[in-house]
Amino acid sequence: MYGYKCEYCDGIVRQRTVEREAFKHRAGFVILENVPIGVCDTCGNRCYHASLLRRVEEIATRRRIPERMEMVPVSVFA
């Protein structure tokens, strides 16, 4: 899924499975859990495989049912 050269530096993007990663979609936030993301071993840049972004798109546009919902705190800073 990963293991290619970083687009920002000379490092290698390596796969790392993280407990949870938040994605900002135009239709709202989606959190994926136990998800294999790519992290550059030099600059730390995070990359997401197309299959992850497809899942986020499906959840955000309600074409796929999420396992559960979480409330997100909102504060108006003004």
Q: Which residues bind Zn ion (CB under 5 A)?
A: 6, 8-9, 11, 40, 42-43, 45
Contact present, 68 and 56 (Cβ < 8 Å): no
C-beta of 45 vs 66, nearer to Zn ion: 45
C-beta of 6 vs 60, nearer to Zn ion: 6
Angle at 9 between CA 6 and CA 13, to 5 degrees: 25
Contact present, 59 and 27 (Cβ < 8 Å): no
- Minimum distance between the CB of residue 35 and Zn ion, rounded to whole angstroms? 20
Beta-sheet strands, E only, within the chain: 13-25, 28-40, 46-47
- Minimum distance between the CB of residue 55 and Zn ion, rounded to whole angstroms? 24
C-beta of 5 vs 54, nearer to Zn ion: 5
